Chains A and B, each alone.
Chain A
Amino acid sequence: MLSFPLSVVFTDALFSSFLFGFLGLLAWYPTRYIPFQSNSPVYSILAHVVAGLLVLAAWVLVTVGVLNVIFGSQEAYLEFLNRSLVWRATLGGLLYLVLVLIYYLVSNNQKLQERMQQEERLRGLVREAELSMLKSQINPHFLFNSLNSISSLTMSNPDEARDMIIRLSDFLRYSLKHRENEYVPLKEELRRIKDYLAIEKIRFGEKLQYEFNISGESEEFQVPTMIFQPLFENAIRHSVYEAVKPVLIRFDCGPENGFIKAVITNDFDPEVPTRDGTGVGLQNVRQRIDLAYRGKGSARWTSTEGVFQVTILFPRMF
């Protein structure tokens, strides 16, 4: 049974442990920069074996070297030191393995969190992009035909022409502004809808009739910006564009069972074959409602005997 003075035991233990601790930190780098999944496992194992051997060799050599210098005069200790080389190396190797495993665990966890954050950011971006794309569709037909009407009015009725330019400007400003504001009070949204309808009325005259019924308390309710615009555009495109007789567009809105319910109704000539594909505008509105209220709101439509109706339910609490 060997026995050494306490000072020798402590020096050996402290020095070798601290040195291992320091060298062990270096193992972080191969762990971090040799990702286990992306390369072949043979390659990463080899890299760790090489790195491990280097760390181990450095540790054993430095420990033995330094202890040799410090306790050079104690023969018995030096003999012990030489015999302990094998188990020092074995122990060091095992410890190194444990360290590498822990490092992999930490590193993977970090990467997972990073990826989750990135995904969340991406989802947000996609949603934003989708929303702005769905919203920012000013119909060029509407724009250029309106400008043409205004051009005509400048000759026959300059006052009305000026009025129309102001309405058109308000409307355009509003549809640009939605980039800043996601939600607006219903009454503001409807003010712009009325601008839009007034402009269309110049083009279509008596052919376009409209009516609004809104319960007082709903006026302040916040709705997604430009949510109704595509519906009115749709009504005009599929009924007024195709009509030779007057068409009535109705808007009714009020509270119902924890929702604000908005209904847009228009009549159309069922005899007239539709000219272009339907539904894109409607699908967009439905998608926006789904995205904005995460499935708690709804947009539905029915078409029966010459009456087309869209019903939107906005959840009051969200």
Chain B
Amino acid sequence: MDFDGGCISGDYFVSTNVLNAMHMIRMIIVEDEKPARDLLKAYLEKFPGIELIAEYDNGFDGLKAINESKPDAVFLDVQMPKLTGFEMLEVLEHHPEVIFTTAYDQFAIKAFEQNVVDYLLKPFSKDRFSEAISRLEARIDSKKEGGGEETRIEKIKMHLAESDEKIHRVVIKKTGKIHVISTNDINYLEAQDDYVMIYTDEGRYLKQQTMKYFEKHLDPQQFVRVHRSYIANITRIERIEPYEKSNFILILKDGNKVPVSRSGMQVLKENLDF
């Protein structure tokens, strides 16, 4: 999937107030609903120390903009078309401070409490908004004295990995482009050191992730760890053939071959019922 989108309205007034410019916090809004964006902007008017540089209505455009214009902070909606707020975090190259805005997300709220500046539960009051901005300012001040934001994003990723939610798509960066792959399109996955190679009909994609992660988060009805280094999509299996003595090999519909270990064969037997 490729997208070409753009900033919703690019002409933002850049403050020339010299005094403020020193400490201006540059922000981006990524939020798919116009009324919600309007609200954030209206609340922001009371904060001259914050410069809104752009707003986007989907995660995909937001992601590109964050990587390009490197803002200090973002208002990030969780549920958005094309790319969710969480998926954006996975592939961001530039790591701004994050204030999540979300209507309802039981699991996320707990997980992110410690690692984002704040999360605003919609609808939120002006006071609650001001509190978030104060936290943001404090966080940015303390950052000037010595980093730490990299580890925070890593922690968020860790929390995502620890959750029990099943994934239905994978976001991957490949040669500067972002690809969103439906798990249904995956033929098989192969372990490659700290990475996992994901094979689809369209090509292969390298993702920095563990096999354990995919084993846990992919639908177990569809994906089976057939080997220490391989997970196969069982709907893509053409046939299973014996290989050397007491081993087997999967022949996939696209012709690719995937080795099966003895324990992998057991799991396959249970799943495919033979």
Contact = CB atoms under 8 A, between A and B. Distances in A.
Interface in A112-158: 140-141, 143-145, 147-153, 155-156
Interface string B20-38: 0000000000001111101
Interface of A: 140-141, 143-145, 147-153, 155-156, 202-205, 241-244, 271-277
B35 A276 contact: no
Contact of B82 (A144, A145, A153, A244): A244
B184 interface: yes
B166 interface: yes
B256 to A, nearest CB: 21
A281 to B, nearest CB: 16
Interface stretch (B108-116, B175-183, B210-218, B258-266): B175-183
Contacts, number: 84
A193 to B, nearest CB: 20
Interface string B21-62: 000000000001111101100100000000000000110000
A205 B38 CA distance: 13
Contact of B42 (A155, A204, A272): A155
Contacts of A143: 103
A273 B181 contact: yes
A141 B180 contact: no
Contacts of B227: none
Interface residues of B, number: 32
A271 B1 contact: yes
Contact of B103 (A144, A152, A272): A144
B70 interface: no
Contacts of B166: 277
A246 to B, nearest CB: 13
Contacts of A243: 81
B34 A205 contact: yes
A244 B58 contact: yes
Contacts of B220: none
B122 interface: yes
Given A144-B104, A144-B122, A244 B57 contact: yes
14 contacts: A140-B104, A141-B103, A145-B103, A147-B122, A148-B36, A148-B103, A152-B35, A152-B39, A203-B33, A241-B79, A271-B1, A272-B180, A274-B169, A275-B84
A172 B229 CA distance: 52
Nearest to B125: A151
Contacts of A244: 3, 5, 57-58, 81-82
Highest count of chain A CB atoms <10 Å: which of B38, B122, B166: B122
Nearest to A275: B168
A272 B81 contact: yes
Nearest to B106: A140
